Structure 1
Amino acid sequence: MKNTPLNLCTTRLHGGEYGLYVALRERADNVMNAETEPIYGHKPARYLLQEIAAGNKEYSELLLSKETVIGRRETGEILHELALLQTHLWKAGRVLRVRFLEGPEHVHRQIETIAKTWETHANITFDFIAQGQAEVRISFTRSGSWSLVGTDALTERDQNKATMNFDLSDETTSPDAFPATILHEFGHCLGCVHEHQSPAAAIQWNKPLIYSRLFQAYGWDRQKVDTNFFEQAEKALITNSGYDPLSIMHYSFPPEFTVPPTPTPHNTQLSAQDIAFISRCYPFPASSTASTLLKG
């Protein structure tokens, strides 16, 4: 396909019982708090997670339990639902260890440099390590560029398996496009979702053409196309600032993908709204000077 390059990726969601448990514990401060419990009704789930952490219950018991019922929904169902409702954000100030599973050294250096752009605007640190346990593990297979979303990286327990991939054979690895791909995938790593899938976008897709074009070019089946183009993101996962066509999380696609045909920009850097959003998600602590002024 020789049209406008597509910044293609798959924002994968993983499962696995223990992995979900670990991810839920990581998310507890972000999701299961005093504000969200009355809205989503997750207080029983939080209690049971605390019981597991204390060694009083097994996670398998939690999923299979028919004793605790919220309305007509069993606890296991609530927890599986919760794993998809949460924001996927890490805790502000978190240090995420990043390890390459393979790949050339010069590409490693480029990825590290570009990824750290996010650190300027988010209270998060990417610690690139040569060996040892890592939350983010990067491979370079010919499966398209993709990333698990936020704390879903914790659901992949095998330290030899990737949570992010860069396809160096893909057209998105050109000198202009590859830095944008790096920013895009690390945006997913921080919990960002595709901007063109925001309910506020209201894009009218030419679905038959997109299905055909992406199958021919990349072998994508309908489910993968739906996941990356058509399915709207959960409102809890998207920005509150409205649709941002300049977002680094927005695909660049050929005009004929929409009805009527509409060109989209090829975004190569963080937009103003990207920066504002990620700063709210991962706020830096107030400086001592600012605290003094507020107290005064």
Structure 2
Amino acid sequence: MTGRYCSLAQQSAPAFTPGLTAERLSALIGGHSMWVNGTVVHYYFFDGDTDGSVIPVPGTGQSRRVSWVGAKEQQDVVRECFQEWQDLGIGVSFVEVGDRSEAELRIGFQLGDGSWSTVGKGCLQVGQNDRTMNFGWDLTVPGERGTALHEIGHALGMLHEHQSPFAGIHWDDEAVYADLAGAPNFWSRDRTFFNILRKLDADEVNGSVWDPQSIMEYPFSSGLILEPEQFRAGLNPPGTLSPADKEFALRWYPSARPPRPSTLEPFRSVPLGLGPGEQADFAVEPPETRDYTVGVFGAGDSVVVVFEERDGEPRYLAGRDDGGAPHNATIKARLVKGRRYFVRVRLYSAWDSGETAVMCW
């Protein structure tokens, strides 16, 4: 019998401008869910009586509310797992907040709704009264702590390891569908295909080789995998962060940061000089309160994010990803004199000769 699995919601693939070169498309697919380095990701646990899902009561024509509130023991497991990821020294940090409007990640504990998370910055598209992550079973049971590490991996932008095209897995498809249709998952064929049998694009996956020990790998019971032969009797990852998991997180979110970001002054462009995947960080101290535009220039694909410094940490204000479009990313935001802002620019790829630059005006 298969264990309980993380179930990602089915989402449309990101749409990119037709006719992009393979290099540009690869960089965009691989990075579109990832945070800019230096982001402080805030998380919130639902805690109110009205926080929950309204579900129908079969045979009554009525409905009832199912709580999203988790016991402290459940929350503590998640807190510890956020800390374990952060203790790797990655350049993204996690801070718990008590106000859901301040949180990028909003976490519920609705039993029976499965365990799942949005992927990377996809959480920014979810309304502030809705969950971006859920835990559907008891995390304090031995062996279940890995569920929290797994969902936080999704929140960092990681995808399911067994769906890697480098895995070389040959499934017994009908056995997989039958197994997941029963307890404890009760998945439809569409959900099983999306979360298990569907192969990811090579540019989406966490690395260039399959890591069967990854925290993003499901365990599988005997009879579901036909090839590789050594996994016919089952696949049982340890439920901990593997060396490859750690390498991936540190590659996308390196811990090294400049001691102080360069200053971005209004109406003065600054050359970027970035290579693919590299990032530049700037501080903005507006001389007057008004609406400003922050934009990049040049033949490059990039993501630009503006943060406002509050209580000594950067709070996400606005972001724009040019997504391979012919135009460059620009952001309009109201900046207040006397406050400090940060602009972070991460380059996907430079697709023509010439210099890329950033400016605030």
Does TM, normalized by the shorter one, top 0.5?
yes
Paired residue for 1:196, among 129, 153, 162? Answer: 162
Mapped contact 1:241–1:273 kept (Cα < 8 A): no
1:281 and 2:252 aligned: yes
What's 2:220 paired with? 253
What's 1:149 paired with? 119
What's 2:82 paired with? 115
Distance 1:164 1:129 in 2: 15
Distance 2:81 2:123 in 1: 20
1:267 and 2:238 aligned: yes
Q: Structure 2: state its 5+ residue gaps.
A: 47-68, 260-361
Mapped contact 1:195–1:245 kept (Cα < 8 A): yes
TM-aligned CA deviation for residue 10 of structure 1: 1.6
Q: Percent identity?
A: 30
What's 2:92 paired with? 124
Distance 2:129 2:233 in 1: 42
3-state SS of 1:126 partner: strand
What's 1:177 paired with? 143
Paired residue for 1:138, among 107, 115, 119? Answer: 107
Pick closer, same or farther for the CA change 1:174–1:231 going to 2, 3 Å.
same
1:222 and 2:167 aligned: no
More helix by share: 1
Q: Deviations over 1:169-225 (max 9, x none)?
A: 6xxx35332210000000000000011110000111111111112112222111100
What TM-score does the superposition give when structure 2 sets the normalisation length? 0.57
Q: Deviations over 1:137-167 (max 9, x none)?
A: 11111211001111111111x2110000001
Pick closer, same or farther for the CA change 1:114–1:258 going to 2, 3 Å.
same
1:10 and 2:7 aligned: yes
1:236 and 2:203 aligned: yes
What TM-score does the superposition give when structure 1 sets the normalisation length? 0.69
Distance 2:80 2:193 in 1: 32
Higher relative contact order (CA 8 A, sep 6+): 1
Which residue identity does 1:254 align to in structure 2?
A: S
Structure of larger gyration radius: 2
Paired residue for 2:129, among 160, 163, 167? Answer: 160
Map residues 6-155 of structure 1 onto 2, 5 A cutoff: 6=4, 8-12=5-9, 14=11, 39-40=24-25, 86-101=31-46, 102-121=69-88, 122-133=90-101, 134-141=103-110, 142-155=112-125
Q: Structure 1: state its 5+ residue gaps.
A: 25-30, 43-81, 289-296
TM-aligned CA deviation for residue 287 of structure 1: 7.3
After superposition, the CA RMSD in angstroms is 2.8
Which residue identity does 1:148 align to in structure 2?
A: T
Pick closer, same or farther for the CA change 1:86–1:276 going to 2, 3 Å.
closer
Mapped contact 2:30–2:205 kept (Cα < 8 A): no
3-state SS of 1:237 partner: coil
Number of aligned positions between the proteins: 226
Q: Deviations over 1:230-271 (max 9, x none)?
A: 111222221334111100000001021111523212322100
Mapped contact 1:87–1:237 kept (Cα < 8 A): no
